Structure 1
Amino acid sequence: ENINCIAVDWQEGAKGTYISAVNNVRVIGAEVAYFIKTLQKIFRYSPCEIHLIGHSLGAHTAGEAGRRIRGIRRITGLDPAGPYFEGTPPEVRLDPSDANFVDVIHSNAAHFPAIGLGMYNTTGHLDFYPNGGTVMPGCTDLIP
């Protein structure tokens, strides 16, 4: 099988505060969409051949790219970020309308007062909540 895997390095856009990174999600999503359009034009890529995968803010970035390119085959959201996205309109977060199929794994989500860093509400066609989607055994939010 002939597959291309492309990783998006947006460390410059994610620098600074969390809020500035959130504000850059739509910009980076637009850049990813532009890149996909370039692949379509030069290499005749069809959106139905594309699978976007994003973790945390990257899940919403994939959603933004999918909103701009109709017909993306699949988006996989890995623990989409919750703060500043939970309860917002579909236009600013990952949503089932962003691709033909959107699957999401929620692994660090919780409603108030037990605040998690991921979204708790469904954001895909198929949402998985392993271990209830809140706390994973053996994992910690602390980064040394």
Structure 2
Amino acid sequence: MKPYKSLKATILFLAITTLLSCNNDEKNNNADSTKSLLGVWQRSDFSEEYDYKLYFNTEGNGYSTEYIAQPDGTAISNLRPFSWSSSETTLTLDYDDGATDATPFTINAAGQLLASGLGNVPFNKL
């Protein structure tokens, strides 16, 4: 009877240890993806006529800026605040105006942010 209790205790210990270690891995991966997004990202196709940037800060908020030069010499620009969060593969932007973008994202080998929901052009970290 005693060997049965020891085996049961060992299996229970291994099960709890496995569950807790998986949970920590998930938190660490999420923290790594969050850290990699922090800072300013600029669309790689920027020019004197067009610029789009994303600003991610540590408090889970940020903003986007867009600048579009017009043919008559004037320009249109906007600043759009958002709250953001990320999982391992999804970036969610909740804009102050009520809109939400949830998009798959990756950071490629060149260090560029790829977020299909924000366009097919990669972003470079500044």
TM over 0.5: no
The TM-score bracket by the shorter chain reads: under 0.3
User: TM (normalized to structure 1)?
Assistant: 0.20
Question: Which has more radius of gyration?
Answer: 2
Higher fraction of strand: 2
Higher fraction of helix: 1
